[in-house]
Amino acid sequence: MTSRTDWFMDTRKKECIKCHRVLLLNEFYKHPEMADGCYKKCKDCIKQDRWDYRHITHIEKIRERERERRKRRTPQEITAYNEANKKYAEKHPGRKHVNALVNNAIKTGKIIKPDVCQICSRSNPVSHHHDYNRSFDVVWICDSCHRKIHVQIKKCELPPIIERVSHVKIAPGKANFVVQYGIDGNQIGELKSARDAERNTNVGRNVIGQCCLGKRKTAGGFVWKFKKLNNKK
């Protein structure tokens, strides 16, 4: 029987059937029914599949399940949850506010969230702040890369992976122009921002931003898209 130490020192490799990377066997989960004792997909791909299942393909099902679970919470569970949030806020003051600023900037069009990780090109990246005092200086990376970076940070190491990617610096006051289309595809108008579009059409800027990001097809009976601007020096 292979011991845990022998498993991590195993130099054999195999190819992941999804990302087609050739990795050491310790980058794959164990599976007793496979010939080499490892699953066909690497750990990163399996984690990404789980994230996609929870946040994309079955998001409504998961949300409904979470709503039902919250209704069944006992007073003790609610107290424990509130205490955990309070401890996190005390340990990391300001993080919740900064993350809210970034999320609002995405909804209003001040920041365009990329579709892929800036490191490994996987889908559904999240924002990473190397310095929370700089709210809009973020790197967009997937959950897997995010975890690896924070492991290095806990070891008091500067993640070299951060130095290889460009930070996204957005001025809070510079919003993207929004173009309004009819259902038939004909352009109706152009507005300075999602907030300006909300004032003129009475359609919520949050749903306009979601439409511009491709998360929904229409908002308020219209199709919305961000206008691509050429940066002029």
pLDDT above 60: residue 44: yes
Residue 86 lies in a domain: no
Please state, in angstroms and rounded to a whole number, the distance separating the CA atoms of residues 190 and 95.
Answer: 35
Tens digits of residue pLDDT in 165-218: 444 444 444 456 788 898 888 888 888 777 778 778 878 776 787 788 777 788
Number of domains in the chain: 3
Residues 185 and 143 in one domain: no
- Residue 122 CB contacts under 8 Å (≥ 6 apart), including other chains: 44, 48, 116, 142, 144, 145
Residue 71 lies in a domain: no
Residue 85 lies in a domain: no
pLDDT above 90: residue 76: yes
Residues 162 and 190 in one domain: no
16 closest CA partner among 50, 34, 41: 41
pLDDT reported for residue 178: 84
pLDDT above 90: residue 83: yes
Q: Using alpha carbons only, what angle is made at residue 168 by residues 165 and 173, rounded to the nearest 5 degrees?
A: 170
Across the range 7-32, mean pLDDT stands at 83
Residues 122 and 145 in one domain: yes
Residue 231 lies in a domain: no
**% of the chain with per-residue pLDDT over 90:** 9
Residues 157 and 186 in one domain: no
Q: Which amino acid is at 31?
A: H
Residues 149 and 191 in one domain: no
pLDDT above 90: residue 98: no
Tokens of 80: 């424990």
Q: Using alpha carbons only, what angle is made at residue 228 by residues 222 and 233, rounded to the nearest 5 degrees?
A: 150
List the domain range (segments joined by +) for residue 19. 4-52
Residues 193 and 216 in one domain: yes
pLDDT above 80: residue 65: yes
- Tokens 């310095």 correspond to what residue? 131
pLDDT reported for residue 173: 43
Residue 186 lies in a domain: yes
Beta-ladder partners of 15: 22
pTM: 0.45
Residue 77 lies in a domain: no
Of the listed ranges 44-48, 49-53, 178-182, 211-215, the one predicted with least confidence: 211-215
Beginning with the edge strand found earlier in the chain, give each strand of the sheet holding 137-141 in spatial order.
126-129, 137-141, 168-169
**How confident is the prediction for the chain on average, in pLDDT?**
78
Q: Which amino acid is at 156?
A: C
Q: What is the DSSP string of 29-54?
A: EE-TTSTTSEEEEEHHHHHHHHHHII
- Tokens 């039902």 correspond to what residue? 68
